[in-house]
A and B are shown apart, each in its own frame.
Chain A
Amino acid sequence: GAGVSQTPSNKVTEKGKYVELRCDPISGHTALYWYRQSLGQGPEFLIYFQGTGAADDSGLPNDRFFAVRPEGSVSTLKIQRTERGDSAVYLCASSLQGSAGELFFGEGSRLTVL
């Protein structure tokens, strides 16, 4: 596609449920990032993929959060046993390898945990 695509756009779930958020990066972009943006805050880094491997997962808050990118393109962020504090917009971005930090962002997935 022309840009980074994220689905779903909005997700409402109940506390304790499992959630998957999907990101389809720009074709040819080898680097993929997940960020979390809480209300009124700037995005916070979660995880960075270079190809299929997670090169930096230092931002994942705990072991309920996991992300995969099995074929080096589409990525899925998985959240187990969701908590109300997980409510946020989850942003995905991609870039060319070695780029000087110009990330191309999707429109995000808004997660609401009731």
Chain B
Amino acid sequence: AQTVTQSQPEMSVQEAETVTLSCTYDTSESNYYLFWYKQPPSRQMILVIRQEAYKQQNATENRFSVNFQKAAKSFSLKISDSQLGDTAMYFCARRPQGAQKLVFGQGTRLTINP
């Protein structure tokens, strides 16, 4: 099965600290897309950042960046200068090659404390 694994069910940090969420996946494909989605209590999933597997450069979006290690099949999310509004569930997802659907991990519940 082509799975996505998030090994940290919950994390908690103080406001302004940096936090890293881990994600690993299983695939034999060479090209695919990886994503981090945020799900606040409103339930609406929001795209945080996206990485194309054939690009070696790690994606960055303001305070959010990824560490993409293709050989290790690892895709961690780093949140710098964390804010209270970052509190949410975070899901790692992979889009298999040639497919439109996303395969999601189990999620990490992140709490930012004041």
Contact = CB atoms under 8 A, between A and B. Distances in A.
A105 B101 contact: no
Given A91-B45, A105-B44, A108-B43, A48 B100 contact: yes
Contact of A100 (B33, B45, B105): B33
Given A100-B50, A100-B52, A102-B50, A107 B44 contact: yes
A106 B102 CA distance: 16
A41 B33 contact: no
B32 to A, nearest CB: 9
Contact of A45 (B42, B47, B101, B105): B101
| Chain B, interface residues (CB within 8 Å), range | 20 to 34
A42 B91 contact: yes
B104 interface: yes
Given A91-B45, A101-B33, A105-B45, A55 B91 contact: no
Contacts of A45: 101-103
Interface residues of A, number: 26
A89 to B, nearest CB: 6
Interface of A: 3, 31, 33, 40-45, 48, 50, 55-56, 59, 89, 91, 93, 100-103, 105-108, 110
Interface of B: 4, 33, 35, 42-47, 50, 52, 91, 93, 95, 99-107
